[in-house]
Amino acid sequence: MTTQNFPLNTWYVAATPEEVTDKPLARTICNLNLVFYRNDKNKAIALEDFCPHRGAPLSLGFVENGKLVCGYHGLKMGETGKTDSMPNQRVENFPCINAYAVEERHGFIWIWPGDQSLVDSDLIPDLVWSNNNDWAYGGGLYKIQCDYRLMIDNLMDLTHETYVHASSIGQKEIDEAPVDTKLEGQEVVTSRYMDGVYAPPFWQAALEANDLASDVLVDRWQICRFSLPSHVMIEVGVAHQGKGGYDAPDNVKANSIVVDFITPETDTSILYFWGMARKFKPEDQALTNKIQQGQGAIFSEDQDILEQQQRNLLIYPEKKVLKLDIDAGGVMARRLIDRAIKKEQAANK
């Protein structure tokens, strides 16, 4: 019996809309080899990446009149997983392949990789910054060779910023500020507040971009929110000292939500859809591009250390890692994940 390491009856971000075109896109999600394409109504479709004729990947083919055509012998696949036609062949007895529910929402393409009879579109999370003119968003995608839970650990414990991101968002006060972790419904929330500090370089630039002084003391906050199956939203920002901190009016602060959709690819690799939703000067596309570039550089530092951490954990499988106070957010998130997996397994017995 294979070990289930991630919830399946849930929604994961599979791609961005511009990735799924009239050319097939091969993508692995939760150990499933999938192919994505758009039908003749421009709807995103996801199928098992397997031609029922000879087993070639359908992603090596092409899309013709909204039908996915195998590049080996010309079999045309219907979007429900049933073969539509094949040159000079009868196909009514061809075995079906799996089709998966897909939704395009909030600027992402989502997939439900589990039991298709349980699909519930209402479970796609609502995003306060999506389709909201008060916010601007810019992001990207990294493929990282690590267990998806290592990335969750990383994002729910931001003390690593002092060391991994020393030149951008790190500062010693992060280590010194107390951390509060709690469970709010089905959401793990880890928060840290730093009052009366100087902003690190990234946030100095953000203050200046919002026409605010950057060489004065600020109140800084980091509020990490984990929700199943593997989403982390981090409210971050700085406000001029004594103006209300997190609750300060917009004209004295720079604040954003760091967006982290972590999609398991395999047991030891992920699709990491990262971005930042900004609630100041949303109309400034040049600023969005600049922040996106800077954030991308920060996350590349995470990629390097996480991949090396994963390699080391595979080398030393017998060694146990420690669980300290600062790890509470990741520990609680893993508990929610484990409960969700056990619930699915119990339902399947």
Encoded amino acid at 349, one letter: K
For residue 166, the model assigns a pLDDT of 59
Contact residues for 254 (Cβ-Cβ < 8 A; gap 6+): 203, 206, 207, 209, 210, 212, 237, 238, 239, 280
C-alpha to C-alpha distance for 195 and 177, rounded to whole angstroms = 9
Q: What is the model's pLDDT at position 170? A: 67
What integer pLDDT is reported at residue 1 of this predicted model? 54
Residues for the chain: how many in total? 349
CA angle 340, 345, 349 (to 5 degrees): 150
Q: Quick check: helix, strand or coil at residue 32?
A: strand
Distance CA 265, CA 280 (A): 34
- Splitting the chain (349 residues) into consecutive groups of 10 residues, what average pLDDT does each group show? 87 97 95 97 97 94 94 92 88 90 97 97 93 93 96 86 65 79 94 93 92 95 96 96 95 94 98 94 93 87 91 92 79 95 90
Neighbouring C-alpha atoms within 13 Å toward the C-beta of 307: 13
pLDDT score, position 295: 86
CB 58 within 8 A of CB 68: yes
Sole residue written with tokens 């809309």: 17
Task: Report pTM.
Answer: 0.93
For the chain, domain boundaries: 12-123, 136-346
Containing H/E element for 224?
A: strand 217-227
**Are the C-beta atoms of 76 and 47 separated by less than 8 Å?**
no
Q: Please determine whether the domains at 12-123 and 136-346 fall in the same fold group of CATH.
A: no
The CATH fold of domain 136-346: Naphthalene 1,2-dioxygenase Alpha Subunit; Chain A, domain 1 (3.90.380)
Q: How far apart are CA 98 and CA 332, in angstroms?
A: 34
- Superfamily of structural domain 12-123: Rieske [2Fe-2S] iron-sulphur domain (2.102.10.10)
**DSSP secondary structure string for all residues of 167-215:** TTT--HHHHHS-EEEEEETTEEEEEEEEEEEEPPHHHHHHHHHTT--SS
